[in-house]
Structure 1
Amino acid sequence: MNYEKLAKNALEQRAAVVSEIRSVQDNLRMSDAEKSERLKELGREVDRYEAEARDAVERGEREAEARSLAARAGGVLIGRSERGEIRDGDEWRGLLPSGNEYRALVAESSPSAGGYAVPTTVAGKWVEHLRNASVFLKAPGVNVHRFEGGSFVLPSLTGSSTPGVTAEGASIAESSATFAGLTFAPQKYADFYRASNEVISDASVEMRDLIAGVMTRNLAAKVDLDCFQGTGTAQLTGLTKAGVGTAVNLAVGNTVVKWDHVISAYSDIEGIGAAPGVIWASPDMAKALRTERENSTNGSYLAGRVTDPATKAGYGLPLLVSANLPTKTVIVADPTRVHVGVRSDVAIAMSEDFLFDKDAVAFRATFRVAGLAVDNPGAVVVIKASAT
Structure 2
Amino acid sequence: MTIEQLQAQHRTKMAEARALHQKIKGDLPEAEARGIEREFNLIMAEVDDLRDKIEAAKDAASTRSGDPRAPRGGDAEARGVDDGLGDGTFDGDSGAQIAPEQRCVAWAEARGQDAFSRLPVGRYLRSMVTGAETDLEKRALSEGSDSAGGYTVPTHLSARLIDTLRAASVVTRAGAKTVMLDGMTNNIARLAADPTPAWRAESAAVALSDPTFDNVQLVPRSLAVMTKVSVELLQDSINLEAELPRILAASLASELDRVALLGSGTAPEPRGIANTSGIGTSAVAAAIKYGDLARARTAILTANAGPVSAFIMHPRDEGALTGATDGTGQPLNQPAVLANIPMLTTTAIPVDGGTGTNESAVFAGNFAHLLIGVRSDIRIEVIREAFMGNLQYAFIAHLRADVAAQHPGAFYALTGVTPT
TM over 0.5: yes
Would you say the 8 A contact 1:142–1:335 is kept in 2? yes
Instruction: State the 1:205 CA deviation.
Output: 4.9
* Counterpart residue number, 2:277: 243
Instruction: State the 1:300 CA deviation.
Output: 3.5
Match of 1:145 among 172, 179, 184: 179
1:134-158 CA distances to partner (integer Å, 9 max, x unpaired)? 222221x322222321121111122
1:232-288 CA distances to partner (integer Å, 9 max, x unpaired)? 1212212222525211113xxx51110011112212211222211101112222112
Would you say the 8 A contact 1:142–1:336 is kept in 2? yes
1:44-75 CA distances to partner (integer Å, 9 max, x unpaired)? xx9xxxxxxxxxxxxxxxxxxxxxxxxxxxxx
Would you say the 8 A contact 1:152–1:185 is kept in 2? yes
The one-letter amino acid of 2:402's match is: A
The one-letter amino acid of 1:218's match is: S
Match of 2:346 among 312, 315, 322: 322
* Counterpart residue number, 1:93: none
Q: Distance between the aligned counterparts of 1:317 and 1:209, measured in 2?
A: 33
Match of 1:107 among 145, 154, 161: 145
Instruction: State the 1:165 CA deviation.
Output: 3.6
Q: Please tell me whether residue 222 in structure 1 is matched to residue 255 in structure 2.
A: yes
Q: Distance between the aligned counterparts of 2:281 and 2:158, measured in 1?
A: 37
1:217-246 CA distances to partner (integer Å, 9 max, x unpaired)? 221221121112111121221222252521
The one-letter amino acid of 2:343's match is: L
Match of 1:335 among 355, 367, 373: 367
Would you say the 8 A contact 2:221–2:269 is kept in 1? yes
Would you say the 8 A contact 1:144–1:342 is kept in 2? yes
Q: Which has the larger radius of gyration?
A: 1
Q: Distance between the aligned counterparts of 2:350 and 2:129, measured in 1?
A: 49
Q: Distance between the aligned counterparts of 2:273 and 2:308, measured in 1?
A: 15
Q: Distance between the aligned counterparts of 2:244 and 2:219, measured in 1?
A: 29
Q: Distance between the aligned counterparts of 1:363 and 1:198, measured in 2?
A: 15
With normalisation by structure 1, the TM-score equals 0.61
Instruction: State the 1:321 CA deviation.
Output: 0.8
Q: Distance between the aligned counterparts of 1:25 and 1:220, measured in 2?
A: 17
SS in 2 for 1:298: coil
Distance 1:159 1:37, change over 3 A: closer
* Counterpart residue number, 2:32: none
Question: Between the two proteins, what is the percent identity of the paired residues?
Answer: 21
* Counterpart residue number, 1:170: 204
Equivalenced residues, count: 290
Q: Distance between the aligned counterparts of 2:227 and 2:144, measured in 1?
A: 20
Distance 1:207 1:314, change over 3 A: same
SS in 2 for 1:128: helix
Would you say the 8 A contact 1:229–1:237 is kept in 2? yes
Q: Please tell me whether residue 127 in structure 1 is matched to residue 162 in structure 2.
A: yes
Q: Distance between the aligned counterparts of 1:37 and 1:162, measured in 2?
A: 64
Q: Please tell me whether residue 263 in structure 1 is matched to residue 302 in structure 2.
A: no
Would you say the 8 A contact 1:118–1:349 is kept in 2? no
Cα RMSD over matched residues?
Answer: 4.2
